[in-house]
Amino acid sequence: MAERKINVIDEIKKASRSVTTGIEEKDIEHWVEIYIMGKAYKVPAALTIMQAMEYAGYRFVRGCGCRAGFCGACSTVYRKKGEYRLQTAMACQTRVEDGMFLVQIPFSPAEKPSYDLGREKPEPSVFLKYFPEIARCVSCNTCTKACPQDLEVMDYIQAALRGDFRAVADGSFDCIQCGLCAIRCPAEIVHYHVAQLGRRMYGKYLNPLEKNAEQRVKEIEEGRFKEEMDRLLKATDEELERIYAEREREPD
Amino acid sequence: MPELRFIGGYPEYMRESIEVVNRTRPKRMEQPRAMTKEEREEVLKLHPDYAPGGKRKIRIGQNKGDIAPNEVVDLLEAYPLIQPGEIDLGKVDYETDILIIGGGLAGTTAALWANDSGIPKGKILLTNKLRHGDSNSMMAEGGTQAADRPNDSPAIHFIDAYGGGHFTNKRDVLRALVEDAPFIIKWLEGLGAMFDKNEDGYFEEKWGGGTCRKRMHACRDYTGLEELRVIRDEFRSREIPVLEFYPAIELLTDEGGKVVGAILWNMETEEYKVVKAKATILATGGFGRLHIRGFATTNHYGATCDGVVMAYRAGAKLRDTDTVQYHPTGAAFPQQIVGLLLTEKLRSSGAQPVNKRGEAFVFPLEPRDVEASALIRECYVRNNGITTPTGMKGVWLDTPRIDLINGEGYLERSFPGMVRMFKRFGIDMIKDPVLVFPTLHYQNGGVEIDPQARTNVEGLFVAGEVSGGVHGKNRLMGNSTLDCMVFGRRAGIFAAQYVKKGVRVGKLGLNHVERYVKELKEAGIRTDRRSPMLLPDYRGKAVLARMIDIF
């Protein structure tokens, strides 16, 4: 039995080898050619842009973050051979394609205004107060086309102009603040900062504060659970094991 | 070999099993029962923590004789990146009251609360290895626990976490976690975080594995991202000084052994900077990128155990270094996203692990170590897994079952991040199940803290995943983001208190590093390994073989 257990872990290890660092070239069947900042590299076809750059020999400092599509660090722009369109992507979430000419955007310069949410009121004018440039939106929709999260970016900027907090908050909720919208915008709007203000205003002022949590904080401050907690801290492990085993699960 | 044909994102050969899963769905309305204690013990033998090999004793330092994964011991038993003699500590680049190392949820929260506790913004410095916010925090999907519903209590939260941690959690620290939890949720709400709420304005609270109450507060499946971007926005609005791409590479101590700052390193210019601080808060996160036992990981690029290494050299005590958390459901297919997280919230919303024959083989919400072991057993012992084109094995996570239970549209509305990720690779998780296998997720132990986020070393506070004690040997879902904010806040408050009482910073030094090197040599540890690691290296083998260092 013991021997088999070692094998299980070894088998998992073998199965988890990465194509970038763990598999021999001769075992890779499908290849594509990509151009990293204009230089051609032959890379396995099964890789993401990020993995392909690593395979080609790049070690990231910038341009790489969570590697899972949440952080917006790996903004990438590319054109495919023979196509006029400039496309955008997250390098960690996009498979390489033959003939991609690509470059990463390591940093996106953008001013973020300072505000004290407690002193603001949820009035439509708050957007224009901090981001007057949104009035320059020409509705070209380039921001929406650039968004790797497929958000309707222009729509939420228009909503900000109207002062519709809910539409800004809802429409921008999945924003990972990669900055591609702002880099592409001819009106020089920093969409993701506008969205951040909108979401916080909505969360603080327009989404009613929850009552249970408020009540519980008060109860804790009043010491309502103190005795019970003191008891748990002093209990023997056997007692706690029993309480754990006997606890009842609330119904689904 | 002929080209694989793909249908709906899956190779043709997997479709047969997918059809079985789709067909058997209505028959799987009842969940398998939860395991007994004995059944849990039996299946846990397959867990990578308990399976033989993979770990060894630490030979030097405070925790000499303790067991830790080989990958961690390799970093502890390694030489520093710098020679103490080559660093000029006479010139101080930044002098501050509180230095915070790491800008995820814990570090950023610490900065805000230090500021709220009377430390002026100019006397706080937050430094990041990568960008401010780059962290495992922002990848947290499922939620944050807080016992705030009337049928729940901090005591029940405590018992859930203590049992889930196999009765090894540090009790006073765990108490702080559960007692502060409702406050943290309220605090976030006041900052404008958008938690999921129902029509009556109450939080929509979900199950988490190993809990007996629904107490998971979520923001769709972007919980960590929402929490982090809100507090980071507050941080930026207050204009607290921040450095990016400046990892700490060693802590500094004075003659008395107090921690009094750190050496930072500019990753681009390779220049070092000296920071003198009255208090230092370490919030550097976990170690997923060490790929313990060869596992793929859910973790951020920068999760390389740096904080534990630096603190250990400065004399800090570690605890619970012997266990590692593997999340039961990492992506096993497609190859491009192997290891990435499929939140536990999917299972608490009705998704079921199912084997290749369409059988539900495990209660979906066992504690993570038990659930992960059951998946390993199904794939490698009972051979009921599905093999991918690259040789990985996995079982199905029946995601369409979520809409069957909650109504059409629920999955897409509640899990936009997951749905989007699979869609990018041609898979529709609303119609078809997705393939999963356990993935390296969390550093359970770390630098031991007390309820005030203090360590045994004066001047050194620790918060978040790099700390040890609060989760014992196994963390429950929803307690990590909570941990970051509870102990980030406490670190900020108590570091501020410590500073305000008056700290006499002596001469900045690296004596602790010299002592550590001496100890390494005396223990006969001869190696060219150096640490902290800072970043993993994923460059292709072929390139590395022909690389020459001339510039």
B138-175 tens-digit pLDDT: 999 989 999 999 999 999 999 999 999 999 999 999 99
Pairing of strands B124-127, B242-243: parallel
Verify that A199 and A177 share a domain, yes or no: yes
Verify that B277 and B192 share a domain, yes or no: yes
CA distance B173 to B488: 13
Give catalytic status of residue B347 as yes or no: yes
Tell if the CB–CB gap between B538 and A51 is shorter than 8 Å.
yes
> B415, B436 in Cβ contact below 8 A?
no
Report the pLDDT value the prediction gives residue B68, as an integer from 0 to 100: 97
Verify that A202 and A139 share a domain, yes or no: yes
Q: Is the pLDDT of residue B526 over 50?
A: yes
Report the pLDDT value the prediction gives residue B5, as an integer from 0 to 100: 83
Model confidence at B1, pLDDT cuts 50, 70, 90, reads very low
Tell if the CB–CB gap between A241 and B163 is shorter than 8 Å.
yes
> H/E element holding B323?
none
CATH number of the domain at B479, please: 3.50.50.60
- Could you tell me which of B170, B175, B136 has the C-alpha nearest to residue B154? B175
Verify that B164 and B201 share a domain, yes or no: yes
Instruction: Please tell me the total count of domains within chain B.
Output: 2
CA-nearest residue of chain B to A27? B390
Distance from CA of A195 to the nearest CA of B (A): 11
- Could you tell me which of A5, A37, A30 has the C-alpha nearest to residue B335? A30
Verify that A142 and A223 share a domain, yes or no: no
CATH number of the domain at A175, please: 1.10.1060.10
- Could you tell me which of B33, B30, B21, B26 has the C-alpha nearest to residue B357? B21
User: In sequence order, which ranges of B64-218 are alpha helices (DSSP H)?
Assistant: 70-76, 105-116, 154-164, 171-191
A172-191 tens-digit pLDDT: 999 999 999 999 999 999 99
Tell if the CB–CB gap between B189 and A249 is shorter than 8 Å.
no
Residue A92 maps to a domain: yes
Verify that B179 and B141 share a domain, yes or no: yes
Verify that B288 and B425 share a domain, yes or no: no
Mean pLDDT rounded to a whole number for chain A: 94
What tokens appear for B534 in the block? 């800072």
In B364-501, DSSP assigns E strands to 386-387, 393-398, 434-442, 446-448, 460-462, 467-468
User: In sequence order, which ranges of B381-433 are alpha helices (DSSP H)?
Assistant: 400-406, 410-414, 416-424
Verify that B19 and B156 share a domain, yes or no: no
- Which of these ranges, A133-147, B28-42, B351-365, B396-410, has the smallest mean pLDDT? B28-42
Model confidence at A2, pLDDT cuts 50, 70, 90, reads very low
B13-38 tens-digit pLDDT: 999 999 999 999 999 999 999 998 89
CA distance B487 to B41: 32
Residue A187 maps to a domain: yes
Report the pLDDT value the prediction gives residue A27, as an integer from 0 to 100: 81
Distance from CA of A118 to the nearest CA of B (A): 9
Mean pLDDT rounded to a whole number for chain B: 96
Report the pLDDT value the prediction gives residue A6, as an integer from 0 to 100: 56
Q: What percent of chain A has pLDDT over 90?
A: 85
Q: Which residue of B175, B300, B380 is in closest CB contact with A229? A: B175
Verify that A220 and A202 share a domain, yes or no: no
Q: Which domain holds residue B284?
A: 80-324+443-500
Verify that A92 and A140 share a domain, yes or no: no
User: For the whole model, what pTM was predicted?
Assistant: 0.96
Verify that B255 and B135 share a domain, yes or no: yes
Residue B280 maps to a domain: yes
Report the pLDDT value the prediction gives residue A1, as an integer from 0 to 100: 44
Q: Which residue of B195, B233, B335 is in closest CB contact with A200? A: B233
Verify that B146 and B99 share a domain, yes or no: yes
Residue B70 maps to a domain: no
Verify that B430 and B453 share a domain, yes or no: no
From B456, B477, B500, give the residue that closes a domain: B500
Residues in A touching B159 (Cβ below 8 Å): 232, 240, 243-244, 247
Q: Which of B174, B187, B188, B390 is most worth mutating to test chain A (most A CB atoms within 10 A of its CB)? A: B390
Q: Which of B30, B40, B144, B148 is most worth mutating to test chain A (most A CB atoms within 10 A of its CB)? A: B148
Check B47, B220, B327, B377 and give the catalytic one.
B327
A48-80 tens-digit pLDDT: 999 999 999 999 999 999 999 999 999 999 999
B265 lies within 8 A of chain A by CB: no
Report the pLDDT value the prediction gives residue A14, as an integer from 0 to 100: 86
Residue A247 maps to a domain: no
Residue A216 maps to a domain: yes
Instruction: Please tell me the total count of domains within chain A.
Output: 3
Verify that B245 and B265 share a domain, yes or no: yes
Report the pLDDT value the prediction gives residue B13, as an integer from 0 to 100: 93
What tokens appear for B361 in the block? 């083989």
Report the pLDDT value the prediction gives residue B64, as an integer from 0 to 100: 98
> B468, B282 in Cβ contact below 8 A?
no
What tokens appear for B474 in the block? 């196994």
Residues in B touching A89 (Cβ below 8 Å): none
Verify that A174 and A234 share a domain, yes or no: no
Q: Which of B138, B168, B413, B441 is most worth mutating to test chain A (most A CB atoms within 10 A of its CB)? A: B138
Tell if the CB–CB gap between B167 and A70 is shorter than 8 Å.
no
Q: Which domain holds residue A223?
A: 211-241
Verify that A128 and A198 share a domain, yes or no: yes
Verify that A181 and A123 share a domain, yes or no: yes
Using CA atoms in the order B16, B20, B23, B29, what is the torsion angle rounded to 10 degrees?
Answer: -150
Report the pLDDT value the prediction gives residue B37, as an integer from 0 to 100: 85
Q: Which residue of A14, A71, A204 is in closest CB contact with B134? A: A71
Q: Which residues numbered 169-188 in B keep a CB inside 8 Å of some CB on A?
A: 171-172, 175, 179, 182-183, 185-186
Verify that B291 and B237 share a domain, yes or no: yes
Angle at B108 between CA B107 and CA B114, to 5 degrees: 85
Residue B61 maps to a domain: no
Model confidence at B549, pLDDT cuts 50, 70, 90, reads confident
Q: Is the pLDDT of residue B314 over 50?
A: yes
Report the pLDDT value the prediction gives residue A182, as an integer from 0 to 100: 97
Q: 3-state SS of chain B: helix, strand, coil percent to 5?
A: 35, 20, 45
Verify that B253 and B338 share a domain, yes or no: no
Residue A248 maps to a domain: no
Residue A124 maps to a domain: yes
Residue A50 maps to a domain: yes
Q: Is the pLDDT of residue B2 over 60?
A: no
Residues in B touching A13 (Cβ below 8 Å): 293-295
Check B175, B289, B300, B347 and give the catalytic one.
B347
Report the pLDDT value the prediction gives residue A19, as an integer from 0 to 100: 72
CA-nearest residue of chain A to B332? A16
Verify that B43 and B128 share a domain, yes or no: no
Q: What percent of chain B has pLDDT over 90?
A: 93
Q: What percent of chain B has pLDDT over 70?
A: 99
CATH number of the domain at A36, please: 3.10.20.740
Tell if the CB–CB gap between A6 and B52 is shorter than 8 Å.
yes
A188-199 tens-digit pLDDT: 999 999 999 999
Verify that A136 and A177 share a domain, yes or no: yes
Q: Which residue of A169, A201, A248 is in closest CB contact with B212? A: A248
Burial class (CB in 10 A: 0-12, 13-18, 19+), B384: middle
Report the pLDDT value the prediction gives residue A26, as an integer from 0 to 100: 83
From A61, A79, A104, give the residue that closes a domain: A104
